[in-house]
A and B are shown apart, each in its own frame.
Chain A
Amino acid sequence: MGSHDNEDMGFQHRNEGTLNCPSSGMSTNPLPEKVSRMAMSSGSIFKPSNAPDPFFGSGWDPLVSLSQSDNFGGSSVASQSEFTNPPYPIAMETQGMSSTSHLVQYPSDSSYVEMVPKLPCFGSGSFSEMVGSFGLPECAGISNPGCVANYNPNRDGGIDRTSTMGTQSLDDRQVSEEGALGSSPNGRRRKRVPESSPNKNAEGELNKDMSGESSDYLKEQDEKKTKLEENTAANLRGKQAGKQTKENSQSGDAAKDSYIHVRARRGQATNSHSLAERVRREKISERMRLLQELVPGCNKITGKAVMLDEIINYVQSLQQQVEFLSMKLATVNPEVNIDIERILSKDGNLQNMPITAPQFPSLPQTVLDNELQGLFHMGFDSSSNIDSLGQNASRLKPEQ
């Protein structure tokens, strides 16, 4: 553990020396080596990209700071004499590496980095918004096919989120990661890193196993590195660093609290309103995901509006079904004796008997009976119900 710390610290110093050279010709080679080493220890993926070069010239602080952290690949970093945070990207990376969930973000991040130069204006948009605007198809082109398999499930979720919920996606990951990491303030820093470092996806390998193991000492390293970075980058970051430190301290304190803490990313407003808004958006997206699982046939829907429409349709259809069934039950002739028997048997049947979803009223009884008989021996199969209900829902869908 200690050796790793030394290693990382060494990286920082070495990087500082190399990165401070104004030579634009400085290749990313030295860095990637270190990065790969870091990757070994932290299991992170690094992807050098020269994309940020034009940005640095623009003096766009948020991006610059982001690319600083992201682009340890260097040439762009080298061009900025002000960049003194070679350790920063690495630190951030290591921070990010500690949890595999962070890795998920890399593909989108790298895509973001590539897209960055093309952006005409970045304004004050958050990093995640940028990522979202670039879309996820960019991610497909990104690296590490070995890691893709792991990325995919998370990425899809992230993609949905970024496309629909803009800043929410990274926030979600942030928050979830924060929750996963518990009350350690280091966890906060780690979370921040992946979001602000698209370049991290650069070449590196993804050692998920390593990431799990290295989480402990990585936290310490991350802390040190972030502190170093913040100190050294004061010139460039200016108030942003100050805000970050404030956030760090706040988040550090907040770690012990029970509510979810959100860290404002660089370039984002850090006033309480936007933070609270982000928390709220994350909550909403969480619940929307849950609803997406409940409503059949909504896995592919991305978008709160469409999702809400589907939910409304589904609830309406269920209520209509209840009404129809109550009408049906009203018309059935009462047979008291049999009722009692059925009461006793139904409770058992309800657990064993497969029930097909009631189709629309026009469906003849015989069809239901046949279906019931067909499924009778399969047991109460909830999945089949979902499928049949899904058919109902699909009918309700205006399109698709």
Chain B
Amino acid sequence: MRTSTTTTSSGITLSTKSCRIKFARRFLRSLVEIKKQKRSSASSSEEEICKRSKRIKMAAYSSMARAVGPRMNWSRALLFKLRNRVGYPRLVKKKKRVTVRSNKVSRSKSSVHIDRGNKLRKLVPGGKSMDFICLLEETAHYITCLNTQVKVMQAIADNLSK
């Protein structure tokens, strides 16, 4: 993880510091809201905790995606998914995915790419509709953002638990 900015070949900057600050602010705000909800319910059953943890997880991902902005494929896909999930079931359409450019040329030479590429696609949001090269770029950015996310959440958790 770098505090400075890193630029990929395509010019995508992997800046972590500003990303971290933005994410931290958004996440804290959403966390406070979720906490307020908990206070009102005032029950700490396991189900509640599970629900809350899921909500917190969603909040973390959405705040990270928003902090990143719409410039990355994965953040857009993440926001889209979260928006659909949140509560507009009727709007959830089977979006016609851009067919993954089946790398026919490479398939004969390296099916390794394909297998692992598919695995990676499932992990990275929005990965299904990207070709392998873009997938790698997005993965790099996604990894840096996940890192910041983890660090911020860890700091918050530590602070709250003290």
Interface residues in A355-400 by Cβ distance below 8 A to B read 355-358, 365, 368-369, 372, 380, 382, 385-386, 389
Interface size class of A (residues with CB under 8 A): 35 or more
Most buried by B among A339, A350, A368: A350
**Number of chain B residues close to chain A: CB under 8 A:** 67
Q: Is the CB of A346 within 8 A of B155?
A: yes
Interface membership of B144, Cβ < 8 A: yes
Most A CB contacts (10 A, CB to CB) among B2, B6, B53, B106 go to B53
CB of A314 within 8 A of chain B?
Answer: yes
Q: For residue A369, which residues in chain B have a CB less than 8 angstroms away from its CB?
A: 158, 162
Residue in A321, A331, A342 whose CB lies within 8 Å of B49? A331
Q: Which of A267-314 contact B (CB under 8 A)?
A: 273, 277, 280, 283-284, 286-288, 290-291, 294-295, 304-305, 308-309, 311-312, 314
- The answer, yes or no, to whether B86 is at the interface (CB within 8 Å) is no
Tell me how far the C-beta of A51 lies from the nearest C-beta in chain B, rounded to whole angstroms: 29
Say yes or no: is B92 at the interface (Cβ < 8 Å to chain A): no
A119 part of interface (Cβ distance < 8 Å): no
111-156 of chain B: CB within 8 A of chain A: 112-113, 116-117, 119-120, 123-124, 132-133, 136-137, 139-140, 142-144, 146-147, 149-156
A-B CB contact pairs (8 Å), 28 listed: A280-B106, A286-B9, A287-B8, A287-B136, A304-B110, A305-B116, A308-B113, A315-B120, A315-B143, A318-B149, A319-B123, A322-B150, A325-B154, A326-B53, A329-B56, A330-B52, A332-B161, A336-B35, A336-B39, A339-B31, A339-B32, A339-B35, A342-B28, A346-B28, A347-B24, A347-B25, A351-B21, A386-B1
Q: Which A residues form the contact surface with B (CB < 8 A)?
A: 273, 277, 280, 283-284, 286-288, 290-291, 294-295, 304-305, 308-309, 311-312, 314-316, 318-319, 321-323, 325-332, 334-336, 338-340, 342-343, 345-347, 349-351, 353, 355-358, 365, 368-369, 372, 380, 382, 385-386, 389
